[in-house]
Amino acid sequence: MQNQNQNQQQNMQTRPASQQMNHGGHEVFDVHEVLSGSVGTLNQYTLLRQHVKDQELLDILDRQYQFMQNEYNTTVDCFKSGQDPATPTQSYKMAQDNDFVYGLSPSQPKKPLQNVSEITDECISSCMLGSVKSNASMKTMAALEVTNPVVRRVLADSVPNCIEMAYELSIYQNKNQYYQVPQLAQQDMQQMLNSYAPMNNGGQNQNNFH
């Protein structure tokens, strides 16, 4: 009995300290993965910048880099303190329209580079796109494991920004015929679009959910 009381007292003494840390174990590992991914993306943008030829792609790269840098600092801030960051989260706004060109046209098969001199804007934009899509997945998974409410909100707010950056890059690629978007035959498309119907809100079992 005496040992049990001593254990209870020790648990009560250590609990406030663990609560002050304000992070769970899974959260710490997952946020580390997110921050590591962010560092990798920023490094990749830095390495790729010198090879960009198209001014429009360079503008996208610089604008996304600046935004991701600020977002990285915000995440580090709230993760270390467990409190509201000094710089709140922002929303990324792309500069392009959202018009996609649908359909396929003849193009050369793609293959890996064999020399740095072969790098093109198509390759650069593909690397950028893959990186921000990866960040979106990591941040989504991490946000589902986070216990700290501030860090969870910062990560959750960051996911739409990754999606917006990926969308901007895919539009750029589509406009330059780096990324072509096939469509189904009209009959198949109509069948897929009409595969589901809305529920009747006045259904018989509605009272079961009150």
Q: Which helix (H) or strand (E) holds 173?
A: helix 149-175
Q: Tell me which residue of 157, 138, 140 sits closest to 71, measured CA to CA.
A: 157
Query: Across residues 134-157, what is the average pLDDT?
Result: 95
Q: What is the mean pLDDT of the chain?
A: 88
CB 154, CB 75: distance < 8 Å:
yes
Cα distances (angstroms) measured from residue 164 to each of 51, 57, 60, 77 = 24, 15, 12, 23
Long-range contacts of range 54-62, CB-CB < 8 Å, 24 or more positions apart? 54/121, 54/176, 56/172, 57/121, 57/124, 57/125, 57/172, 59/95, 60/95, 60/128, 60/168, 60/169, 60/172, 61/124, 61/128
Kindly report the pTM of this predicted structure. Answer: 0.84
Tokens, residue 18: 């663990």
Residue 28 has pLDDT above 50, yes or no: yes
Angle among Cα 84, 88, 89 to the nearest 5 degrees reads 120
pLDDT of 97 reads 83
Of 3.40.50.10470, 1.20.1260.10, 1.20.1270.10, 3.30.470.10, the CATH number of 25-90+100-105+118-190 is 1.20.1260.10
pLDDT higher at 137 or 6: 137
Tens of pLDDT, residues 150-207: 999 999 999 999 999 999 999 999 999 999 999 999 999 999 999 999 998 866 666 6
pLDDT of 18 reads 45
Query: Across residues 40-47, what is the average pLDDT?
Result: 98
